[in-house]
Amino acid sequence: MLMKGKKGVVLGIANKKSIAYGIAKACQEQGAELAITYLNERFQKKLEPIAEELGCGNRLYPCDVSKPEEIVALKESLEKDFGKIDFIVHSIAFAPKEGLSGRFVDISKEAFSTAMDISVYSLIEVTQKLKPILSEEASILTLSYYGGVKYIPNYNLMGVAKAALEMTVKYLAEDLGKDGVRVNAISAGPIKTLAAAGIGDFSFMLKWNAAHAPLKKNVTIQEVGNSGMYLLSNLSSAVTGEIHYVDGGFNIMGMPAVKFDENGKPTIAWNGE
């Protein structure tokens, strides 16, 4: 049991299709004791059965990261129930609808500020508030996407936020390394989650990734969950500041695989065919 004896909190589970759920499930199956958070009362009702399944029905806490007082309350609840914690999973991101469609040049300052606050600064603030209860050799994990490195259609503002998040991981890793705390991110391939529903032409993104990733498939929350569990466990004790890709190898591709029709025009080679 790779996580036996470890205690941690997972922020950002929306339902059983969430990547955060995949990570929580993998950790729980390896012996970790969990606490999970919910955004508001609507999500609380949805997460109650999930909390029971994960063995933390009495450790389901409210935490809207736009409200600093709720992060402080989360720290107090965790300290009361666990004393110290060994890991944090930060799976929180948000951009207003205008930031995920249309022309990037038209994005408002308000939308930009909101996306950066919820998607990026929340990692810093959660780390700040929970740092006093982090155990020695604790691990912090957040979630990114390839759209923070390269242009992805319709990802727009969230791509900029993920770029900032990835650099935040690196700066936090250096800063907290002296305290023995590791900070990493997983850059997962596209997965049908509640958050992904707001991205235009997402079904095409799934097809494109499966067609051109070396493994010729899309990843699952179980696969991402297992990688997350590794980064939270002692198996990765010398790993920090990394952006770990779990995308079937899509990120290594320099150009797509194509074939030509009878007129010599290139066509997409779906599934490598």
**CB distance 133 to 78 below 8 Å:** yes
Residues of the chain with pLDDT under 50: 271-273
pLDDT tens-digit readout, 217-235: 999 999 999 999 999 999 9
Compute CA 121 distance to the chain's CA centroid, rounded to the nearest angstrom. 14
Give me the helix-helix angle, 221-232 and 19-29, nearest 10°.
60
- pLDDT value at position 210? 87
- pLDDT value at position 269? 55
Q: What is the edge-to-edge ordering of all strands in the sheet holding 134-144? A: 60-62, 33-38, 7-11, 85-90, 134-144, 182-188, 243-246
- pLDDT value at position 203? 80
**Domains contained in the chain, CATH given:** 7-272 (3.40.50.720)
Q: What gap in Å lies between CA 22 and CA 28, rounded to an integer? A: 10
**CB distance 10 to 36 below 8 Å:** yes
DSSP output for 109-124: HHHHHHHHIIIIIHHH
Catalytic residues: 145, 155
- pLDDT value at position 188? 95
- pLDDT value at position 107? 96
Query: What's 182-202 look like in SS3?
Result: EEEEEEECCCCCCHHHHCCCH
- pLDDT value at position 198? 60
- pLDDT value at position 272? 44
Which stretches does DSSP call E strand in 117-242? Answer: 134-144, 182-188
